[in-house]
């Protein structure tokens, strides 16, 4: 057995892992909650840690994924491209409750997002976006194998979870319709 050294986990170390995996990613400024920024400004003036104001964004087909490190926790947040009408909330809520009851990870959730509004739209409509998250404590650091395993297992679990969502709500996976139409034309 090899002895893997434990190192601090920060967003730049995560980016190095993505370079090793030859995976596409981008580092983005973290969107801060104004209330939290005010509280931090009133704090002791401690300097921000390495990469603390950044998140790493990547993805899988039809899934956007953000990795963030906060309070000694590495979190992976995913949003599925499919959208459902707000009127489907009862069905979506029941599906998510059952999924979360039966699976330890990832945890699914949903929220309402503004629907694209065209010219002349009188009222902005909302639609349901289904999200997933995983988290791991990194306060004492992780080995390269542990960090890589977390990232790859997050990808795998997000893919599996959103495949189940697409099966339960095929009307939201509009890209499947486009693929079927292309096959029909060939």
C-alpha to C-alpha distance for 30 and 9, rounded to whole angstroms? 17
Does the pLDDT of residue 167 top 50, yes or no? yes
Burial of residue 100 (number of CB atoms within 10 Å: 0-12, 13-18, 19+): middle
**Architecture in CATH of 11-35+48-114+128-185:** 2-Layer Sandwich (3.30)
List, in sequence order, the alpha helices (H) in the chain: 11-20, 34-41, 89-102, 144-168, 174-185
C-alpha to C-alpha distance for 174 and 111, rounded to whole angstroms? 19
3-state secondary structure of 106: coil
CA atoms within 13 A on the CB side of 92: 23
pLDDT of residue 46: 46
pLDDT tens digits along 142-152: 999 999 999 99
The answer to whether residues 100 and 107 touch, using CB atoms and an 8 Å cutoff, is yes
3-state secondary structure of 5: coil
pLDDT tens digits along 68-125: 999 999 999 999 999 999 999 999 999 999 999 999 899 999 999 998 644 444 455 8
């Amino acid at each position: 057995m090899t002895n893997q050294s434990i190192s601090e986990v920060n967003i730049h170390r995560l980016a190095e892992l993505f370079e090793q995996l030859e995976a596409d990613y981008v580092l983005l400024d973290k969107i801060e909650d104004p209330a939290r920024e005010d509280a931090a400004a009133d704090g002791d003036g401690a300097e921000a840690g390495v990469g603390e104001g950044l998140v790493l964004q990547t993805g899988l087909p039809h899934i956007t994924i953000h990795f963030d490190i906060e309070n000694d926790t590495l979190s992976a947040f995913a949003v599925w491209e499919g959208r459902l009408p707000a009127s489907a909330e009862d069905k979506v809520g029941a599906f998510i409750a059952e999924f979360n009851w039966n699976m330890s990870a990832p945890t699914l959730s949903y929220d309402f997002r503004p629907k694209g509004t065209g010219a002349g739209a009188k009222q902005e409509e909302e639609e349901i976006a289904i999200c997933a998250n995983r988290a791991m404590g990194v306060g004492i650091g992780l080995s390269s194998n542990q960090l890589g395993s977390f990232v790859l297992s997050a990808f795998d679990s997000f893919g599996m979870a959103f495949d189940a969502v697409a099966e339960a709500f095929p009307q939201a996976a509009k890209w499947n319709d486009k693929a079927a139409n292309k096959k029909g034309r060939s």
